[in-house]
Amino acid sequence: MAVLKKGARITGAERTKLATDLKKAYDKGTSIRELADKHGRSYGFVHRVLSESGVTLRGRGGATRTKTAAGKTKPRSK
């Protein structure tokens, strides 16, 4: 991992290399927030670089609600 000056513009080959590194780490399960902290960049920057790299972003964590779980009740047994 290259040490980047905070807030410095990253272009060209340097940005391509960073995008490749971020993509590999993200594909292995590292979160965007963890990547941002590790590289000294903002969440938005990392998110944008990953999106530009064609990465399929994971959904947000936590419980999800489904129509059937929220809107229906269990049938009563006799």
Among 17, 53, 16, 14, CA closest to 32 = 53
pTM of the entire predicted model: 0.69
- Indicate the SS3 state at residue 52: helix
> Could you read off the pLDDT tens digit of each residue along the chain, which spans 78 residues?
555 666 677 778 899 999 999 999 999 999 999 999 999 999 999 999 999 999 999 888 766 666 655 556 556 666
